[in-house]
Structure 1
Amino acid sequence: MKLEDAVRTSLEAYFRDLRGAEPHGVQQMVLQSVEKPMLEVVLRHAEGNQRLAAEWLGINRNTLRRKLVEHGLID
């Protein structure tokens, strides 16, 4: 299954589970849900090398460190 299909399926289930209630903060919810596992996997494949992981992600190493702290992946 493609990542976009998994996201689409999950969002459809989310809206179904709302049973007519108004959704709030959907974009932030999705970004938070995707970002942490993405960081975990990329960092693992980079064998913990933050410089390399940042390069692969196309972000600055300081940005990566901030995101790792935000998600509780480092102190």
Structure 2
Amino acid sequence: METSNKSAVIINLERREMESAELADADPDHKSATAVPLSAYVRQAIDLYFAQLKDSEAEGLHAMVISAVEKPLLEATLTYSGHNQTKAAKALGLSRSTLRKKLEQYGLS
């Protein structure tokens, strides 16, 4: 895939993350937000990614999607658990050592 296409997709995904963060800031309890499954947002982002590829081949899609979802998942879970890694690991269904490795991987340690 061309670097410019990949960059455009990443920018669009980051823009979507910022819009989601703005929604959360405007309504911290998410009471007025319509419940939309996370899978719908992921599907929409992936469809957009494929649409922007045009004639290019998709490469590294799994790693790109996992990293785009995993980092905010870890951040939100740490916040939820009061930065208690034992509680966060339990909430995520991970061992504490796996959680620590992931936090290090994303620069969250």
- Given the two structures, how large is their TM-score scaled by the length of structure 1? 0.95
Task: Give the number of the structure whose alpha-carbon radius of gyration is greater.
Answer: 2
Residue of structure 2 aligned with 1:29, choices 52, 57, 64: 64
- Between the aligned partners of 2:50 and 2:77, the Cα distance in structure 1 is 29
CA distances 1:16-70 after superposition (whole Å, capped 9, x unpaired): 1111210001111111111000000000000000000000101100100010010
Please give the alpha-carbon distance, in whole angstroms, between the structure 2 residues aligned to 1:57 and 1:3. 16
Unpaired stretches in structure 1, ≥5 consecutive residues: none
Q: CA RMSD in A?
A: 0.6
2:92 maps to 1:53? no
> TM-score if structure 2 supplies the norm length?
0.66
Runs (4+) of structure 1 exceeding 6 A deviation are: none
Q: Secondary structure at the match of 1:23?
A: coil
Tell me: higher relative CO, structure 1 or 2? Use CA pairs within 8 A at least 6 residues apart: 2
